């Protein structure tokens, strides 16, 4: 490496200058009692739960979904919109799969991950398989209408062309509580 005029490495000068400014600010912030909290980034399941909460506000069954691209970027997010659109297929999973496919420009989005707040129904599980989703993460199980661990168990069928890696129970308590509050309010 070549040396700069003052004995430092040329490539390190901008880095060292930035580091010195940062350390100077950090010392000043600490001595004045000024602190900065770094908030953790929301997880894809946190985003899906937010979509589920917004769906509940719209009077929809509170289910939210998020598709994450292979680079970790959120590609699509949605909550149920079946009532709003008068469309029985407007489940959160279907909406995000459609949007992700549109953005990618293909009917298959292999390498992408789906996060959803409730176990997908058979229709959504079939769409997940057709779209070649790499991993499925879901929060709450759905013994009544689920199609992954319960009911038709779409991915366990010999006719299923693609089976995603499946992880359940992530954020299950928050999702189950939201669903319970939603349906309790409807029964009164």
For the annotated catalytic residues, the residue numbers are 93
Rounded Cα distance, 117 and 114, in Å: 10
Tally of CA atoms within 13 A in the half-sphere of 38 that contains its CB: 2
CB contact at 8 A, 2 and 10: yes
- Closest C-alpha to 167, from 41, 44, 40, 42: 44
Residues 16, 22, 28, 30, CA torsion sign: negative
Q: Which residues pair with 103 in a beta bridge?
A: none
Question: What distance in Å separates the CA atoms of residue 21 and residue 175, rounded to the nearest whole number?
Answer: 44
How many residues in the chain?
188
Report the C-alpha gap between 106 and 166 in whole angstroms: 23
The b/e string for 117-153 (b: 16+ C-beta within 10 A; e otherwise) is bbbbbbbbbbbbbebbbbebbbbbbbeeebbbbebee
């Amino acid at each position: 490496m070549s040396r700069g005029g003052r004995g430092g490495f040329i490539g390190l000068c901008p880095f060292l200058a930035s580091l010195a400014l940062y350390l100077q600010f950090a010392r000043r912030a600490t001595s004045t009692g000024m602190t900065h909290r770094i908030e953790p980034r929301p997880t894809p399941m946190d985003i899906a739960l937010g979509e589920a909460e917004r769906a509940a506000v719209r009077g929809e069954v509170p289910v939210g979904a998020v598709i994450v691209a292979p680079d970790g970027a959120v590609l699509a997010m949605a909550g149920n919109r079946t009532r709003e659109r008068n469309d029985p297929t407007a489940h959160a999973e279907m909406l995000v799969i459609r949007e992700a496919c549109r953005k990618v420009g293909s009917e298959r989005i292999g390498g992408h991950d789906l996060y959803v707040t409730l176990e997908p129904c058979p229709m959504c599980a079939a769409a997940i398989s057709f779209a070649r989703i790499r991993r499925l993460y879901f929060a709450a199980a759905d013994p009544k209408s689920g199609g992954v661990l319960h009911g038709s168990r779409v991915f366990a069928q010999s006719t299923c062309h693609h089976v995603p890696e499946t992880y359940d129970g992530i954020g299950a308590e928050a999702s189950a509580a939201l669903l319970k509050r939603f349906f309790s309010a409807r029964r009164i």
